[in-house]
C-alpha cells in the first residue's frame, strides 16, 4: 500500500503495468509500480472534482469523470510530468455530477454517468482527439433513473450497461428499487446517442456494473441489498424472463466489482456504513429504504484474490491521507 494525499476515487493501470493513475480531490495522482509496491511520483492538478477514471484501449489516453463530463489526458505525458498532458475536456451542456467513465473497445465513443442529471452523456472521443475539443464532440444524452453511476461497455462494443440507484418511472420495477439499463450503442452518432433497449430490476441501490470478457454475463453490485447480482446478457431484453441467474450475499454495502483470473473470480469492495439500507418485502411490492447516519469508515474486505479497499466520506473534512492498494482505491463519495 501507499499513502496518497487526498481521497482517492478510482484507479487505472497502464498496459505494461508499470504506471497507476488515480483521481484525488482535485488532482490526478501518478504512481509507479515496483517490487516494494506502487510509489507516488507526481500529481497533475485538475480543474474540477475528478471521480471515475478509465484508460483508452490503445493505452494512450486517460479519461477522468469531472463535473459535466470528462477531462482527457495524454497518459505518456502524465507519466513524465510533461507540459501539455491535459488535452481537453468533453462537456455535456448542463451536465452535473460526473461519476464514472466507459469507453468503447475501438476508442471511438466515451460515456460519462452524470449522477445529478440522471443521464449518461455520450461523446465522440475519436473526433475530439482528431480535430480538437469542440461542442460537436457531445453527441447527446441517455435518460435513465435517479443517480446513474456504474457503466460498462460490452466487449463487442454493441451494448452499454448502466446502473441507476432508483429505477425510472414506468419501468415496471417496484418503487424504490434500482435498475440496470441496456442501451444499444452500435449506431450511436450525432443526434442518436444510443437506444434504450431494456431496464430491469437490480435490487437496492445498484452502483457498479461489469461485463465478463465474453460478454455473456453482467455483474452488478446492489449496495443496499448487500448482494452481487449476475445476469445473462442475452436475456436482458424486454419480455425475456430469467435474466437474473445469481444473487450472491457479499456482506455490507458492496460497491466496486472486478473480474479476475479469466473471469473465474469476482472481486468487490465494501462500503461500511454510509447509510442504513433496507429492502422490505410487502404483499404488493418491495421497497428500498435508506436512512442516513453519521458513520466512520470501518473494516474493508475483498472477494477472491482481488485486493479491495473502499472508504467513504461522510460529513466533515476529508482524511488528509488515504491508503491506496494496487488495483483499487478508497472513494471520497457516497457512491
Model confidence pLDDT, tens digit, residues 38-70: 899 999 999 888 999 999 999 999 999 999 999
pLDDT greater than 90 at residue 224:
yes
Q: What is the CATH number of the domain that holds 16?
A: 2.130.10.10
Q: What is the pLDDT of residue 269?
A: 54
Return d(Cα 322, Cα 8) in angstroms, integer: 7
Residues 291-304 have a mean pLDDT of 32
Q: What is the pLDDT of residue 305?
A: 31
Q: From 235, 196, 203, 205, select the one nearest 218 (Cα to Cα).
A: 235
Domain-located, residue 222: yes
Residues 6+ away with beta carbon under 8 Å from 325: 1, 307, 308, 309
Q: How many helices (H) and strands (E) does the chain have?
A: 2, 26
Q: What is the pLDDT of residue 105?
A: 97
β-sheet bridge partners, residue 55: 62
Residues 295-312 have a mean pLDDT of 31
Helix intervals (H) in 53-151: 75-79, 125-131
Domain-located, residue 134: yes
Return d(Cα 83, Cα 22) in angstroms, integer: 19
Whether the Cβ atoms of residue 147 and residue 166 lie closer than 8 Å to each other: yes
Question: Which residue range is the domain that position 28 belongs to?
Answer: 2-324
Domain-located, residue 264: yes
Whether the Cβ atoms of residue 307 and residue 269 lie closer than 8 Å to each other: no
Helix intervals (H) in the chain: 75-79, 125-131
Q: What is the pLDDT of residue 82?
A: 73
Domain-located, residue 330: no
β-sheet bridge partners, residue 70: 65, 90
Of 90-94, 106-110, 233-237, 284-288, the one with minimum mean pLDDT is: 284-288
Whether the Cβ atoms of residue 87 and residue 129 lie closer than 8 Å to each other: yes
Domain-located, residue 329: no
pLDDT greater than 60 at residue 297:
no
Residues 6+ away with beta carbon under 8 Å from 68: 91, 92, 93, 94, 95, 96, 98, 114, 121
The dihedral through the CA atoms of 235, 240, 242, 248 has a sign that is positive
Whether the Cβ atoms of residue 300 and residue 259 lie closer than 8 Å to each other: no
β-sheet bridge partners, residue 13: 20
Q: How far is CA 275 from CA 41, 107, 205, in A?
A: 35, 37, 11
Return d(Cα 266, Cα 13) in angstroms, integer: 18
Tens of pLDDT, residues 176-211: 999 999 999 998 988 789 999 999 999 999 999 999
Whether the Cβ atoms of residue 114 and residue 52 lie closer than 8 Å to each other: no
Return d(Cα 331, Cα 53) in angstroms, integer: 12
Return d(Cα 143, Cα 157) in angstroms, integer: 20
Domain-located, residue 100: yes
Domain-located, residue 243: yes
Q: What is the pLDDT of residue 265?
A: 62
Q: How far is CA 292 from CA 9, 159, 279, in A?
A: 21, 34, 15
Helix intervals (H) in 63-146: 75-79, 125-131
Q: What is the pTM of this model?
A: 0.82
Beta strands, E only, 243-315: 244-249, 254-260, 265-270, 275-280, 287-292
Tens of pLDDT, residues 244-259: 999 999 988 888 877 6
Who wins on pLDDT, 280 or 62?
A: 62
Domain-located, residue 83: yes
Q: How far is CA 132 from CA 54, 74, 137, 188, in A?
A: 20, 13, 9, 20
> Could you tell me what percent of the chain has a pLDDT over 90?
59
Give how many domains the chain has, as a whole number: 1
Map grid coordinates 447509510 to a residue.
275
Local confidence band at 267 (pLDDT 50, 70, 90 cut-offs): low
Using alpha carbons only, give the angle 235, 201, 234 rounded to the nearest 5 degrees: 10
Amino acid at each position: 500500500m501507499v499513502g496518497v494525499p487526498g481521497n482517492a476515487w478510482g484507479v487505472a493501470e497502464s498496459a505494461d503495468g508499470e504506471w497507476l493513475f488515480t483521481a484525488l480531490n482535485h488532482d490526478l495522482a501518478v504512481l509507479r509500480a515496483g517490487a516494494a509496491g506502487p510509489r507516488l511520483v507526481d500529481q497533475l492538478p485538475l480543474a474540477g472534482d475528478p471521480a471515475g477514471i478509465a484508460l483508452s484501449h490503445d493505452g494512450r489516453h486517460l479519461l477522468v469523470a469531472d463535473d459535466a463530463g470528462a477531462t482527457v489526458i495524454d497518459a505518456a505525458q502524465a507519466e513524465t510530468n510533461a507540459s501539455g498532458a491535459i488535452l481537453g475536456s468533453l462537456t455535456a451542456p448542463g451536465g452535473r455530477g460526473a461519476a464514472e467513465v466507459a469507453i468503447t473497445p475501438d476508442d471511438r465513443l466515451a460515456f460519462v454517468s452524470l449522477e445529478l442529471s440522471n443521464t449518461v452523456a455520450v461523446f465522440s472521443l475519436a473526433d475530439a482527439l482528431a480535430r480538437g475539443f469542440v461542442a460537436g464532440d457531445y453527441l447527446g444524452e441517455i435518460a435513465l433513473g435517479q443517480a446513474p453511476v456504474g457503466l460498462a461497455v460490452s466487449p463487442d462494443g454493441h451494448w452499454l450497461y448502466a446502473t441507476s440507484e432508483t429505477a425510472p418511472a414506468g419501468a415496471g420495477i417496484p418503487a424504490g428499487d434500482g435498475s440496470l439499463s441496456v442501451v444499444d450503442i452500435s449506431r450511436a452518432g450525432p443526434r442518436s446517442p444510443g437506444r434504450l433497449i431494456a431496464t430491469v430490476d437490480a435490487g437496492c441501490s445498484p452502483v457498479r456494473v461489469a461485463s465478463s470478457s465474453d460478454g455473456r454475463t453482467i455483474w452488478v453490485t446492489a449496495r443496499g441489498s448487500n448482494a452481487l447480482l449476475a445476469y445473462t446478457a442475452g436475456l436482458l431484453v424486454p419480455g425475456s424472463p430469467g435474466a437474473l441467474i445469481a444473487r450472491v450475499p457479499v456482506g455490507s454495502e458492496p460497491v466496486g466489482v472486478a473480474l479476475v483470473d479469466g473471469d473465474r473470480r469476482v472481486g468487490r469492495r465494501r462500503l461500511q456504513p454510509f447509510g442504513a439500507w433496507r429492502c422490505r418485502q410487502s404483499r404488493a411490492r418491495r421497497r428500498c429504504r435508506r436512512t442516513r447516519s453519521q458513520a466512520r469508515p470501518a473494516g474493508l474486505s475483498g472477494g477472491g484474490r482481488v485486493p479491495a479497499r473502499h472508504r467513504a466520506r461522510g460529513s466533515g473534512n476529508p482524511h488528509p491521507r488515504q491508503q491506496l492498494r494496487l488495483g483499487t482505491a478508497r472513494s471520497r463519495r457516497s457512491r
